[in-house]
Structure 1
Amino acid sequence: MNGTSGRPDAAAQISGLIFAILLLDPELIVREANPAAEDLLHRSARRLVGESLLDVIALEDERVALRLADPDARLTVRGMAMRCGERVAQVNMTVSPLASHPGWRVMTLSEVGQGEMGDEGRTETTLRAPAILAHEIKNPLAAIRGAGQLVARKLDERDRPLATMISVEVDRIARLVDRMQRLGSERADPVAPTNLHEAVRSAIATVRAAGTQKVEMVEEFDPSLPPVLASRDALEQVLINLISNARDACASGEAPKIVIRTRFVSGLVSNLKLGRAIRLPVEVSVSDNGPGIEPSLRDHVFEPFVTSKSSGQGLGLALVRKLIRDMNGRIGHQRDEREGLTHFRIHLPLARDEGEQA
């Protein structure tokens, strides 16, 4: 029975899974692909079906390719490098032969570090300890700052810059501590129906007020989008961070440009929260024409303390990912070398009645 009031059939169950599924025939031709496969491989099912698997993805480990040559081989691989176009991702893979149909196989793919419970749990555990330590650091920092201000009043004019430096550096450390505390916090901001375009325009205005360094900003909005379920403050913070990063990345180029785009991507991606599927059909993307993130860092951009900026602390994108996850959303990064563009894409749920499930 496949009606909305009955038990979901096999097709509906596969469509709702958060990991990619590909049905492969004996020649390794893709015959079916679920929405999560479309999202991971950045191709529609229509473009995937009929293609050879090895034309869609390139496997960095030759041993895996050799195992795929055996139609009866079962395969489980964790943390494998997989290339899809210009993008390289770390994935977990399984391949299961279908005994009822010799040569046919089902392949599953899940990206390591994006929506994987084990990885997320390890990250959160790693961050809670520094967050607790940050709380203990704040009190002595305040004492040091106060002492520096008192000393400054008693010093000669020529020595006061040294005392001022103490206060400035203490303030800098305090800001870092604040970000660590927020990153390690288990408390999420409450979500509510939010006008996406109001949040985007507010973030753009904030970045422009800070100076865009002659960077062109282009808005490509779908005005028909309904409200999303999000924290307005957290969403603005995320967008300010992404747009500011894009500005810094492309500012030194010849014709620096940022495109902020919104669109509806029905069925493209789903998440899992509290045992139920949550559709994320609204996409916000921030794209810039800068040189992109260093290739060695691209698979780790959302990890704490990873940065390509000489003065960066590597907490901005880690905090962005946490805030998006707190809203049951998802964020991803892609570099398009052919077009010379870097894309950060956010997917968010629609605002619904509390009792309505996706």
Structure 2
Amino acid sequence: MSDLPDARTQLSGLIFAVLLLDEDLCVIEANPSAEDLFGKSEKRLQRHNIVDLLDIGDLRMSRELRRGDMRLVARAVSARIEGREVLLNITVSPVATEPNWLVMTLSEIASNQMGDYGESAAKPAAPNILAHEIKNPLSAIRGAGQLLSRKLAENERSLANLIVSEADRIADVIDRMQQLGSTSREALSACNPHSAIRNALRTVKTAQDTLDGEPFIFVEEFDPSLPPVLAQPQALEQVLINLFANACDAGRAAGEHSVSVRTRFVSGSVFKAIRLGKATHLPVEISIVDRGAGIDRELAERVFEPFVSSKPHGQGLGLALARKLIEDMNGRISHERLDRTGETVFRVFLPVAKATTNAQESGR
């Protein structure tokens, strides 16, 4: 009989988050599922108070958690992690032989499990019905605007053209909302990350060339040995187009016309994702860097939430959709402001395509 796996190895295989807390409720250790839930590596979680990491709206629950000397079991607790709304099952219990230490477990309740807590599991269909009901008359309004534009004199067409453009804008918002609410996932395949980046850059460069002002310089800093990633190529390109466009907007507003895109293989993985009971490493990192003013500090923690935007006319759906698409690929996306260098960095972390995983790891 082979040797039994040690306790840490067993904890690494759990599909729910496990945290070891000291008497001050600071994180000392975290398993890979906890890294996945909080979007931070164990090193970045350490010494942070759990009350600061986990924003629980229920005041009574918050008070109980702060006591830190009792057993606690709570189901379907609403909380916020890095600005993201989550529903959690939580347990806290002291270590039997070391009463000053606590073990906390956190398991996220997926939207398709909400039926167990009084919500309908069939609700995702509702937004599609609403979108259909809006888009039908919207098409008629757009058609009427086009017809009016053809019949009016050149100097009288501005309002008719406004009807058409606003109808297109509303349709685009609805399409993005449908994507955001979709529960279906595209099939994943091996994808060359540099090809996806260059395809996205080609699209963004074309759009930037139509704008007045100094042209943008896109600086590529690629790791040429990077292996294929497991992704959905079109969705990855869509995410990158959004990130590049945002970086250009931020740079232009600050008078900066350079955007950097970097790739690297992160040994040991900064982030890990738990899928089907296994820890999936995310060693491939794509970074988009701009030197704009950065996102407002009060919005920074909520930047991936729907309808949150620091742009005057932003819809607040682009980054929310980017996160959704990346998570559908079992990846992670993060945002960081580097005050020392004046840079804003968006990082996308992706898994390596299975066929190359062993070869890559053996060569590192």
**TM category, shorter:** 0.7 to 0.9
Q: Distance in 2 between matches of 1:149 and 1:75?
A: 62
Q: Which residue of 1 aligns with 2:134?
A: 137
Matched, 1:117 2:110: yes
Corresponding residue SS for 1:238 = helix
Q: Which moved more, 1:289-298 or 1:30-39?
A: 30-39
Corresponding residue SS for 1:324 = helix
Q: 1:195 to 1:38 in 2, by over 3 A?
A: same
Kept in 1: contact 2:20–2:103 (CA 8 A): yes
Q: 1:192 to 1:170 in 2, by over 3 A?
A: same
TM-score (norm 2): 0.73
Q: Which residue of 2 aligns with 1:303?
A: 305
Corresponding residue SS for 2:354 = coil
Q: 1:274 to 1:136 in 2, by over 3 A?
A: farther
Q: Once the 2 structures are TM-superposed, how far is the Cα of residue 351 of structure 1 from its aligned partner? A: 1.3
Q: Which residue of 2 aligns with 1:218?
A: 219
Q: Which residue of 1 aligns with 2:284?
A: 282
Q: Which residue of 2 aligns with 1:325?
A: 327
Q: Once the 2 structures are TM-superposed, how far is the Cα of residue 181 of structure 1 from its aligned partner? A: 2.8
Q: Once the 2 structures are TM-superposed, how far is the Cα of residue 228 of structure 1 from its aligned partner? A: 0.9
Q: 1:300 to 1:200 in 2, by over 3 A?
A: same
What aligned pairs does 1:139-178 form with structure 2 within 5 A after superposition?
139-178=136-175
Q: Distance in 1 between matches of 2:26 and 2:305?
A: 35
Gaps of 5+ in 1: none
Q: Distance in 2 between matches of 1:169 and 1:29?
A: 50
Q: Once the 2 structures are TM-superposed, how far is the Cα of residue 189 of structure 1 from its aligned partner? A: 2.3
Identity of aligned residues (%): 51
What aligned pairs does 1:14-53 form with structure 2 within 5 A after superposition?
14-17=11-14, 21-24=18-21, 32-35=29-32, 40=38, 45=43
Give the counterpart of 1:186 among 175, 180, 183. Answer: 183
Kept in 1: contact 2:21–2:104 (CA 8 A): yes
Kept in 2: contact 1:331–1:345 (CA 8 A): yes
Q: 1:177 to 1:276 in 2, by over 3 A?
A: same
Kept in 2: contact 1:249–1:290 (CA 8 A): yes
TM-score (norm 1): 0.74
Kept in 1: contact 2:250–2:293 (CA 8 A): yes
Give the counterpart of 1:291 among 290, 293, 296. Answer: 293
Aligned amino acid, residue 298 of structure 1: A
What aligned pairs does 1:212-251 form with structure 2 within 5 A after superposition?
213-251=214-252
Q: 1:38 to 1:222 in 2, by over 3 A?
A: farther
Give the counterpart of 2:271 among 260, 269, 272. Answer: 269
Q: Once the 2 structures are TM-superposed, how far is the Cα of residue 13 of structure 1 from its aligned partner? A: 2.8
Q: 1:15 to 1:216 in 2, by over 3 A?
A: farther
Q: 1:27 to 1:2 in 2, by over 3 A?
A: farther
Q: Distance in 2 between matches of 1:186 and 1:325?
A: 12
Q: Once the 2 structures are TM-superposed, how far is the Cα of residue 109 of structure 1 from its aligned partner? A: 7.0
Q: 1:31 to 1:308 in 2, by over 3 A?
A: closer
Q: Which moved more, 1:333-342 or 1:224-233?
A: 333-342
Q: Once the 2 structures are TM-superposed, how far is the Cα of residue 127 of structure 1 from its aligned partner? A: 6.7
Q: Distance in 1 between matches of 2:199 and 2:325?
A: 18
Q: Distance in 1 between matches of 2:26 and 2:308?
A: 38
Corresponding residue SS for 1:218 = strand
Kept in 2: contact 1:131–1:182 (CA 8 A): no
Q: Distance in 1 between matches of 2:109 and 2:332?
A: 12
Q: Which residue of 1 aligns with 2:362?
A: none
Aligned amino acid, residue 227 of structure 1: P
Corresponding residue SS for 1:300 = coil
Corresponding residue SS for 2:166 = helix
Kept in 2: contact 1:127–1:183 (CA 8 A): no
The count of aligned residue pairs is 339
Kept in 2: contact 1:330–1:346 (CA 8 A): yes
Gaps of 5+ in 2: 359-364
Q: Which residue of 1 aligns with 2:342?
A: 340
Kept in 2: contact 1:59–1:65 (CA 8 A): no
Q: 1:126 to 1:301 in 2, by over 3 A?
A: farther
Matched, 1:315 2:317: yes
State the Cα deviation string for residues 219-267 of structure 1 (Å, max 9, x = none): 2322222111111111001011011112212223254543322223334
What aligned pairs does 1:77-92 form with structure 2 within 5 A after superposition?
none
Q: Distance in 1 between matches of 2:17 and 2:162?
A: 53
Q: 1:215 to 1:35 in 2, by over 3 A?
A: farther
Superposition CA RMSD, Å: 4.2
Q: 1:290 to 1:37 in 2, by over 3 A?
A: farther
State the Cα deviation string for residues 282-301 of structure 1 (Å, max 9, x = none): 22222323222222222322
Kept in 2: contact 1:35–1:267 (CA 8 A): no
Matched, 1:206 2:203: yes
State the Cα deviation string for residues 122-172 of structure 1 (Å, max 9, x = none): 9x9887533321222222222223333333444344433333332232222
Q: 1:257 to 1:88 in 2, by over 3 A?
A: farther
Kept in 1: contact 2:333–2:347 (CA 8 A): yes
Aligned amino acid, residue 117 of structure 1: A
Q: Distance in 2 between matches of 1:13 and 1:53?
A: 24
Kept in 1: contact 2:13–2:277 (CA 8 A): no
